[in-house]
Every structure is written in structure tokens, then in C-alpha cells.
């Protein structure tokens, strides 16, 4: 899935998924993310140190956006998680909330700052 980044080496990365959730299901969906999605995603240990963050955007009255972030050791580990666990978890989320949720994922890498 993320093969083109493999040549950069095995650096720890952050797997970020941004979800936009329709206003009618925000509370219910947040409970699901906190109590089911995030625990299941980190169950194997491939993804760890989860964060759930609200994206502050006053322009959107149709819903709210949230960032779910996990650390993972490297791209190979992330690809393994997507193949073995992530796809089914995403399908469950889409099946549960249908068109009232949309999301996209990005990869982040920490850049060391001078001390």
C-alpha cells in the first residue's frame, strides 16, 4: 500500500486518519472511535500510542472533523496492519455510518529539530 516510501528507510512513522463526521452522529461515532475502533486498531501492537484529536474548523456546519493518530515502527509494519486488520476495521466503520462519515489517511514522519 505504501511501497513508494520504503526506500527512505525504516523510520518510525505516524499513521494519521482524518475523519469528517456528520453532525447527526458525532457523539455516537466518537464513542465508537474511543471504545471500539481505537482499541481494536492497537490490539496487535503494530499501531501504538493512539491519539484522538478534534480539528478546529468553524467553517463547517454540517459536521466535525477528527484526527486519529497512531505510531508504528515502519512502513512494513503499517502495510502488514493494513493488510491483516486495517481494511476490515475501515469496512466496519463505513458499514456502520455509511455516507455520514468520510476519511482519508496520511503518513507523517517526525523531523528532529536542533537543540
Average pLDDT of the chain, as a whole number: 91
**Residue 48 domain flag:** yes
**Residue 42 domain flag:** yes
- When divided into structural domains, the chain yields a total of 1
In angstroms and rounded to an integer, the radius of gyration of the C-alpha atoms of the chain is 15
Percentage helix, strand, coil, to 5, in the chain?
Answer: 45, 30, 25
**Residue 63 domain flag:** yes
pLDDT tens per residue, range 51-107: 999 999 878 789 999 999 999 999 999 999 999 999 999 999 999 999 999 999 999
**Residue 1 domain flag:** no
pTM: 0.86
Domain that holds residue 47: 10-109
Residue 59 to residue 88: CA distance in whole angstroms? 32
> What CATH number is associated with residue 84?
3.30.70.100
**Residue 100 domain flag:** yes
112 pLDDT higher than 90 = no
Amino acid at each position: 500500500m505504501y511501497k513508494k516510501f520504503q526506500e527512505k528507510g525504516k523510520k518510525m512513522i505516524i499513521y494519521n486518519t482524518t475523519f469528517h463526521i456528520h453532525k447527526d452522529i458525532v457523539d455516537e461515532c466518537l464513542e465508537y472511535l474511543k471504545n471500539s475502533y481505537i482499541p481494536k486498531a492497537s490490539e496487535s501492537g503494530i499501531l501504538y500510542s493512539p491519539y484522538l484529536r478534534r480539528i478546529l474548523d468553524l467553517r463547517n456546519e454540517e459536521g466535525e472533523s477528527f484526527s486519529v493518530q497512531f505510531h508504528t515502527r515502519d512502513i512494513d509494519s503499517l502495510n502488514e496492519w493494513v493488510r491483516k486488520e486495517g481494511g476490515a476495521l475501515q469496512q466496519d466503520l463505513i458499514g456502520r455510518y455509511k455516507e455520514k462519515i468520510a476519511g482519508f489517511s496520511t503518513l507523517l514522519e517526525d523531523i528532529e529539530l536542533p537543540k
